[in-house]
């Protein structure tokens, strides 16, 4: 449910379903009411046409035959009737439904047209109705809906001053038609919802195209992709301001990044000369100072700090070149085993108290800049020395897959806290000082520089694990192509 398009499609579907269901219910209710009113009008008109006089049983029998003929004598009756003159029943349909008692449905005392009778008028003569021989007033019709014998009947009770007439019509066919309408509506509803939901999904997808473009542009924003810009949609005014704001933000980011990169590179270059002069002066002063004097110790300490500053400047320069995509690699087919041997030899010399182990298969050749690759691995082993315990060990191993060499550098010592594991490659970030109590604080650039060097080679540097007195980093470097050999295979 985190997808906006899904929520929009579901929302539109639910709203549409509610509207269609509500509209369908209203339509079904109106259809029921319309058909019931139509039947009521027919029954009222039929009663009015046959209540102008006081008719005998023969008249009602002929009317019943006519109604039976219309519905079909071999079919269940659609209309039945019962007539009573002067309170005495004169006719009842043969197929009058059991369970309906005519006495339970009395005629009303009011008449249509607002006619008020003080005394009943005399029944009209059997001759034709005329102004001098008017028809009898008709009582207002009262309607009932009842169940009898498993059938629903609509009953109309009417009459004149002398006759009560009950007409009943079978509602089963009407109810069946309405049920068919309802079932068809219910069958069509899921199809409509699927179409509406799909349309809402399609419309949401089209509406979110500028957002998707912004997302792709944001994903492509790196130190080398800050020059990307979005074209403002010509027909979507709602997104034009968003795109313009996004492009303006990229302008500011690009400008600020270039300024920071230039500052880093320029500062590194500009500081090299005074540091070199300062180093030369200190070396001269060191040579001229008495052996074992306090001044000699001071000059020695200052020279170490100068070397530290020069190392930081060199790393900053390399990082600025990597950020701008101008880190020059002098690629060649190099023996990875020789590089690892140099690194582990230096590691053993720097930390003689640690046990340094190496496991490298023979003749693993990679396409790399040997100097920069060795520097990246030196940073890893320096880290392994710094964050180790006094009697610990360092293990460097090399394995291969189909396309890359995997260099694993692991060491004993305190594990990296879980909160720091996602930040170990950030520049100038230094973890918990308690992990390196006996080592000088670094600048927090070694791991970041190693990763940039490996990425420039088309590889990667990751923290494989850090737990249970063991921390391990894995660097990948593409293997050198070998003529006549399968990809990733090693020569004998």
pLDDT in tens, 466-475: 988 899 999 9
pTM: 0.48
**Range from 212-216, 370-374, 434-438, 464-468 carrying the lowest mean pLDDT:** 434-438
Task: Please report, for the chain, how many H helices and E strands are present, in that order.
Answer: 9, 12
| Residue 490: predicted pLDDT | 41
Identify the DSSP state of 74: T
**Range from 74-83, 141-150, 163-172, 256-265 carrying the lowest mean pLDDT:** 256-265
Reading the block at residue 487, the tokens are 């990809």
Element (H, E) at 85: strand 79-85
Please, which residues have CB within 8 angstroms of residue 365's CB and are 6 or more apart in sequence? 333, 334, 335, 336, 479, 480, 482
pLDDT in tens, 95-142: 899 889 999 999 999 999 888 887 888 888 877 888 888 889 999 999
**Range from 209-223, 295-309, 409-423 carrying the lowest mean pLDDT:** 209-223
| Residue 44: predicted pLDDT | 93
- Distance between CA atoms of 38 and 16, rounded to whole angstroms? 32
- pLDDT bin (cut points 50, 70, 90) of residue 333 is very high
| Residue 42: predicted pLDDT | 92
**Percentage, residues of the chain above pLDDT 90:** 34
Burial of 238 (0-12, 13-18, 19+ CB in 10 A): exposed
Q: What does pLDDT average to over the chain?
A: 83
Contact criterion met (CB below 8 Å) for 285 and 268? no
Reading the block at residue 354, the tokens are 């640690």
Which residues is 467 bridged to in the sheet?
A: 470
User: Looking only at Cα atoms, what is the longest distance across the chain?
Assistant: 158
Cβ count within 10 A of residue 189: 15
| Residue 238: predicted pLDDT | 65
């Amino acid at each position: 449910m985190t997808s906006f398009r899904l929520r929009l499609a579901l929302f539109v579907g639910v709203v549409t379903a509610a509207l269609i269901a509500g509209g369908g219910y209203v339509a079904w209710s109106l259809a029921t009411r319309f058909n019931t009113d139509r039947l009521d009008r027919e029954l009222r008109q039929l009663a009015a046409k046959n209540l102008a006089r006081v008719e005998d049983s023969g008249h009602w029998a002929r009317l019943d035959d006519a109604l039976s003929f219309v519905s079909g004598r071999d079919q269940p009756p659609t209309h039945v009737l019962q007539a009573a003159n002067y309170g005495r029943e004169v006719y009842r349909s043969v197929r009058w439904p059991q369970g309906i008692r005519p006495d339970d449905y009395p005629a009303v005392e009011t008449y249509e047209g607002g006619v008020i009778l003080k005394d009943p008028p005399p029944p009209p003569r059997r001759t034709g109705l005329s102004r001098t021989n008017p028809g009898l007033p008709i009582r207002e019709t009262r309607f009932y809906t009842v169940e009898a014998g498993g059938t629903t009947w609509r009953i109309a009770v009417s009459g004149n001053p002398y006759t009560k007439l009950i007409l009943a019509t079978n509602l089963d066919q009407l109810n069946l038609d309405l049920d068919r309408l309802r079932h068809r509506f219910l069958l069509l509803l899921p199809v409509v919802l699927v179409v509406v939901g799909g349309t809402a999904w399609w419309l949401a997808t089209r509406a979110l195209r500028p957002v998707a473009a912004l997302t792709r542009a944001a994903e492509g924003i790196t130190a080398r992709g800050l020059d990307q810009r979005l074209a403002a949609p010509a027909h979507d005014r709602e997104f034009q301001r968003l795109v313009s704001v996004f492009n303006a933000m990229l302008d500011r980011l690009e400008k600020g990044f270039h300024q920071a990169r230039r500052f880093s590179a320029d500062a590194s270059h500009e500081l090299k000369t005074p540091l070199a002069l300062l180093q030369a002066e200190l070396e001269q002063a060191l040579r001229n100072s008495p052996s074992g004097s306090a001044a000699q110790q001071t000059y020695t300490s200052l020279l170490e700090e100068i070397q530290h500053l020069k190392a930081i400047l060199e790393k900053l320069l390399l990082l600025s070149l990597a950020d701008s995509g101008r880190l020059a690699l002098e690629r060649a087919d190099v023996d990875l085993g020789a590089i690892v041997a140099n690194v582990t030899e230096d590691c053993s010399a720097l930390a003689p108290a640690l046990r340094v182990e190496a496991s490298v298969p023979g003749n693993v050749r990679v396409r790399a800049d040997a100097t920069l690759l060795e520097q990246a691995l030196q940073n890893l082993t320096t880290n392994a020395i710094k964050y180790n315990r006094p009697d610990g060990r360092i293990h460097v191993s090399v394995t291969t897959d189909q396309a890359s060499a995997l260099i694993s550098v692991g060491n004993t010592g305190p594990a990296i806290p879980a909160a720091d594991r996602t930040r170990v490659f950030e520049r100038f970030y230094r973890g918990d000082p308690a992990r390196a109590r006996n080592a000088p604080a670094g600048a927090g650039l070694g791991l970041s520089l190693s990763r940039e060097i490996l990425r420039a080679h088309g590889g990667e540097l990751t923290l494989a694990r850090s737990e249970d007195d063991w921390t391990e980093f894995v660097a990948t470097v593409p293997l050198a192509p070998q003529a006549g050999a399968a990809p990733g295979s090693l020569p004998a």
